[in-house]
Structures are given as C-alpha cells and as structure tokens.
Amino acid sequence: MDYLFVFLFVCLGVAMVLGGILASYLLAPRNPTTVKQSPYECGEETIGSSSINFNVAYYLFAILFLVFDVEAAFLFPWAVVLRELGIIGLIEVVMFVLVLVVGLVYAWKKGVLEWES
C-alpha cells in the first residue's frame, strides 16, 4: 500500500508526457517549406561548413568540473551528520575523497587540465 501512491505518480507523469507528445503531434501545423527546412544560424547565411571539430579538452574539463561539483554536494550532508556517523563516517568520506584525488591526479598526468590551442 505504501508504494501505491508512488506508482500512481509515476503513471500520472508518464501519462502527462505521452499526452503532451500526442497533443503536439495532433495539433501542430504541418506545412514544411524550403525556408523552414534550412538550418537556422541567427538569421545569417552560413559561411563555410557548419560542422567543425571542437577540442575535446573543453568537454573533459567540464566533466571534471561536474565531478568535483557533485563531490561538494555530497560533502554537505555528510558534514551535517558527522557527529552521528562517528569514525566510520569519517573513514568513508576520506576514502571517497581519496578516490576523487586519484582521479584528479590521473587527469592531471594525462594533461586534461592544460589549455593548449
């Protein structure tokens, strides 16, 4: 009985998403023209190829930022209940931070943090 409300909310969420997709499909106008089918670049005609290669280092740097940002988000609740967790909680968070430090050292050695053009 406890999970009945969770199941109902999941079903309601799925129904709302599918209902929105169905309404969009049924109510959206369909009159494609050559102008509507062309790629939109801020109202300007494209110069050269639209598909260029980006340096992967930007994406790797962003992923590293997200990893350490999430780490900070996990450390706040731990800090709130530190007294209740005792020494076991301290050992667990030290292991957690050590794994992240090993990842940071690995990324540093691989040159992910270097901004070479």
Report if residue 116 sits inside a domain.
Answer: no
Q: What is the pLDDT of residues 9-60, one digit of tens each?
A: 999 999 999 999 999 999 988 888 887 777 666 666 667 776 777 777 788 8
Report if residue 55 sits inside a domain.
Answer: yes
Report if residue 45 sits inside a domain.
Answer: yes
If we measure between CA atoms, which residue out of 52, 48, 49, 60 comes closest to residue 116?
60
Report if residue 38 sits inside a domain.
Answer: yes
Say what the pLDDT of residue 46 is.
67
Residue 32 structural domain: 1-110
Q: What is the pLDDT of residues 60-112, one digit of tens each?
A: 888 888 888 888 888 888 889 888 988 998 999 899 899 989 988 998 898 87
How many distinct structural domains can be found in the chain?
Answer: 1
Whether the predicted pLDDT of 116 surpasses 70:
no
Q: 68 vs 115, which has greater pLDDT?
A: 68
Pair of tokens at residue 91: 């050992």
Say what the pLDDT of residue 7 is.
95
Report if residue 57 sits inside a domain.
Answer: yes
Report if residue 117 sits inside a domain.
Answer: no
Record the pTM.
0.50
Report if residue 115 sits inside a domain.
Answer: no
CATH number at residue 9: 1.20.58.1610
CB neighbours of 112 closer than 8 A, spacing ≥ 6?
57, 60, 61, 64
Q: 2 vs 47, which has greater pLDDT?
A: 2
User: How distant is the alpha carbon of residue 28 from its chain centre?
Assistant: 30
